[in-house]
Structure 1
Amino acid sequence: MDEVEVVVAHSERATLRVGDVFLKVDADRARLDAEVEVMSLAPVPVPEVLWYRPPVLALAALPGTTLGRLGGPAAGSPAGWAAAGAAIRALHDAPLPPRLGRAGRSTDVLAAELEDECGQLVAEGVLPAALVDRGRRVAEAALRPWPEAFTHGDLQIAHVFVDGDRVTGVIDWSEAGRGDALYDLATFALGHEEYLGDLLAGYGTGVDLDVIRGWWALRSLLAVRWLAGHGFDPFAPGCEVDVLKSLGK
């Protein structure tokens, strides 16, 4: 009999694996409805929807493997990274979905979130003030006008599966919608800067590296306290705090 594996679980949602079936549980019906809809519009391989009975979405497992995870070693060939880049470009060039995604928050909203979060990080003694100030200056590069694209919104490296030089699927579309394409690229390469060149070889032109670094800083600063409060460790080697430290070198 297959065992139940808890893939991820926190107060907002949980994902379980039973054999070759993934069960995604989300108390937010509208978010789960939107995820199913946007998966049907994505021009890249996605998991097969086996059934959908809110609050549970059942998905088939994907073939292939991921290129790694944040805080762990990256894997795959340059061709695999380039294939991921090409798939991300295909997504960004697709017709826009109807809803705004996580990568589509306005610069005013992001700037306000950044100011508040940086203040909290320092006031609570979570991070040194010098590290926060340095990261905040780097993050400002991401706060600029951007053309809308079809974005995934949470394109962590662990959410893209490849087999050699072929992308076999992209998972976890709950944050997808219209947004800034460079947010996706930065999220995918977070903590694995050494593979950014291979990723961009497949993605193509039009990438401002200062903006990528800005998103690394912004995403990390906004995530540290949330992660620590939901059972994750942003201080683990290679994770968000190490990313912030690397941006000052």
Structure 2
Amino acid sequence: MADVDKIEVVVAHHERATLRAGDVFLKIDVDRANTDVEVAAMALAPIPTPEVLWRKPPVLAIAALPGTALGRLGEPSTASPAAWAAAGAAVRTLHDAPLPPWPGRSVDEITARLDSECEWLVTHDVLPTELVRRNRRIAETALRPWTPVFTHGDLQISHVFVDGDEITGVIDWSEAAPGDALYDLATLTLGHEERLGDVLAGYGTDVDLDVIRAWWSLRSLLGVRWLVEHGFDPSAPGCEVDVLSRSRR
């Protein structure tokens, strides 16, 4: 690693932290299972991922990817339509790969967590009751049987890196597992509905848009409590609460 003159704190809370030192990221996670999955998933994924430099639990050192993030939730993306389409094509390549050999979440598990989170949001007066109920009804569309594929599981736009119109890599694989293909597509376009057409052009197959919208509502409902409890603001413009407020029946 080259000499560095500062350490950047990328994210930090009581469960995990990520630090950047020059061209190296140091990920520290109290749950070793998360980094076990991350390392295994990156080794299996048929798309570009960061190089693992070394690992000494609870620390994982990975090389920085070239390029910049596709975008950030709550901010306009300056990436080109071709870059978004390239992201869609990369997701399709991942989904076409053999399944990872560990289990994913079942519909019943997701439903139970969703109901618990909705109850918490209403009980603690975090969101208006009608907003929660409306989005819970929308989310129901996603809670159906699916054919599992190799999913990233947390495919936020900030986890996809591009250089011009080319994908240079995808980071943060700790939630990778067999799952619903449309969940990855929904996560990638959360808060950026206007980019969905570009992503699907690259993905190359028809999808059920109602299910995509259902996953937008479901992911946002699941995320609000965690964000609040970890010091983030889900009500910032363009973020989860905005997504819930703009949802359509």
In the alignment, which of 93, 98, 101 is matched to residue 95 of structure 1? 98
Distance 1:140 1:128 in 2: 19
Question: For residues 62 and 222 of structure 1, what CA distance do their matches in structure 2 show?
Answer: 29
1:39 corresponds to 2:52: no
Once the two structures are TM-superposed, the CA of residue 37 in structure 1 deviates from its matched residue by: 1.2
Q: Please say if 1:153 is aligned against 2:156.
A: no
1:234 matched to which residue of 2? 234
CA displacement, residues 115-143 of structure 1 (integer Å, 9 cap, x when unaligned): 22112111111000111111111101100
- 3-state SS of paired residue (1:6): strand
Measure the CA separation in 1 of the matches of 2:161 and 2:45. 15
Look up the equivalent residue of 1:65 and give its one-letter code.
T
SS of structure 2 residue aligned to 1:79: helix
| Residue 215 of structure 1: aligned partner | 215
Q: CA deviation at 1:30?
A: 2.4
Could you tell me how far apart the structure 1 residues matched to 2:219 and 2:33 are?
A: 24
Match in the other structure for 1:13? 16
Query: 1:97, CA displacement in angstroms?
Result: 0.7
The 5 Å alignment of 1:188-207 reads 188-207=188-207
Q: Quick check: 1:78 aligned with 2:81?
A: yes
1:68 aligns with 2:60: no
In structure 1, list runs of 5 or more residues that go unmatched: none
Structure 2 length-normalised TM: 0.96
- Deviation per residue, 1:135-160 (Å, 9 max, x gap): 11110110000001001010000000
1:139 maps to which residue? Answer: 139
Offset of residue 52 of structure 1: 1.0
C-alpha distance in 1 between matches for 2:59 and 2:120? 35
Amino acid in the other structure paired with 1:140? E
SS at match of 1:225: helix
- The question of whether the paired residues in 1 share the 8 Å contact of 2:41 and 2:173 is answered with yes
Q: Letter of the aligned partner of 2:45 in structure 1?
A: A
CA–CA separation in structure 1 for the residues paired with 2:162 and 2:247: 29
Query: Residue 19 of structure 2 aligns to which amino acid in structure 1?
Result: L
Cα distance in 2, alignment partners of residues 113 and 18 from structure 1: 37
Where structure 2 has 5 or more consecutive residues not aligned to the other structure, the ranges are none
Question: Deviation of residue 31 (structure 1)?
Answer: 2.1
Offset at residue 217 of structure 1 (A): 0.4
Shift of 1:73: 1.4
Q: Distance in 2 between matches of 1:34 and 1:143?
A: 25
Q: How many residues align?
A: 246
Any conservation in 1 of the 2:122–2:129 contact (CA below 8 Å)?
A: yes
Q: Distance in 2 between matches of 1:184 and 1:95?
A: 16
Deviation at 1:34, TM superposition (A): 2.0
Q: Say what the alpha-carbon RMSD is for the aligned residues.
A: 1.1
TM (normalized to structure 1)?
0.96
Secondary structure in structure 2 of the residue aligned to 1:17: strand
Alpha-carbon offset, residue 219 of structure 1? 0.6
User: In the aligned structure 2, how far is the partner of 1:33 from the partner of 1:105?
Assistant: 17
Question: Identity over the aligned pairs, expressed in percent?
Answer: 72
